[in-house]
Amino acid sequence: MRPSQVSPQEILQLLTYRRQDFDSKVLSVSTNRVHFNESPAISTLGDLDKLSIELLYMILHYSDLCTASAFCLLNRQARMVVHASLPYKNLVRHAPHAIAALIRTRVGSHFTVDEVFHTFCTPSCHVCGRFGAFLWIPECSRCCFPCLRAAPELMPMGENHAKAVFGLTKKTLAKVPIMVTLPGTYGFFCKPYIRQRHLLSRNRARQVAIMTHGGEEGLAQYMESRISQSKLASNQLEATQKTTRDDVTRFMATISFPYFDPASRTVNVGLACQGCKSPRSISSRKWLSSKQKHTLVDIRDRTYCEKGFFEHLKRCLDAQRLWDTHRLSDLSKSPGS
């Protein structure tokens, strides 16, 4: 196999594919565009017209997503300013569904345009560091599908559960993004869910609890007293420490999220490897332990940006075999073979 002798696109076309089945397992929102009535050309920003365009852009960068979207609806002039801002412009162009998800799940006021754009331009899963094609809404952070399924950091916590376990109130949780789930089909069985749930990051809930109880020691003392007071509290504590693989709330709190490379101005949605897809690599190996099979499944479910895939290709024997078979087939069809 000599990939250097052919175009990268030929290799990618043969050896990669898009895992569209992943998108059906997580949150999906419609992105029907709002049609604005054309405002008169004399529309102004009032007192904001006194500010330079550079200063307006800076204000927009540090405005939360809901504020920026609301400002966009003010009039024609405001819309032109917002859509001329590169971070917001690129988010609307390449990931409108993510903006819609953050706003509709009611966490848009917790994240600035700059924070969302920074995640948009960061390719790595914040848990494992590999390429991630998803946005975990409670923290507006990028993640990959294998980590979404099992990582403790990506197991969301219910609002009432957080209050009970950590001794928090609605007031103390005010600064924590608490998302409201949307009706839809989620998980591996694509089961429909209608009832709303209020989900948040357990790490952020714990951080608030530490401040509320005066530090790590204060939180530990509080939780010890709760455990001694009731068996229910003990069960609640155990639930916070338990990671449930493929729990449906993981998928409710996640949406597909492309990666934007600001240098090349290209968008990457994640490429899966045809070699790792082979069913013989998992189902036929009945002697493997459950943990070993999970590891193989995680490898199969991993996606890559273009550069990352070529690094993977150097190590993936199954993908190399597919390529060699393809090249031999081409040679046999060529004249004079």
pLDDT at 100: 95
pTM of the model: 0.85
**Phi, psi dihedrals of residue 206, rounded to the nearest 5°:** -65, -40
Residue 245, both tokens: 């693989």
pLDDT at 52: 85
pLDDT at 294: 66
Sequence ranges of the domains in the chain:
1-19+270-327, 20-34+51-269
pLDDT at 39: 46
Cα separation of 209 and 169, whole Å?
Answer: 10
pLDDT at 319: 92
Partners of residue 49 on adjacent β-strands: none
Q: Please list the rounded mean pLDDT of every run of 10 residues in the chain (337 residues).
A: 69 94 93 50 71 86 91 85 89 94 96 96 96 98 96 95 91 95 94 96 95 92 73 52 80 98 93 81 56 72 94 92 84 57
pLDDT at 37: 43
pLDDT at 205: 95
For 70, the 3-state DSSP assignment is: helix
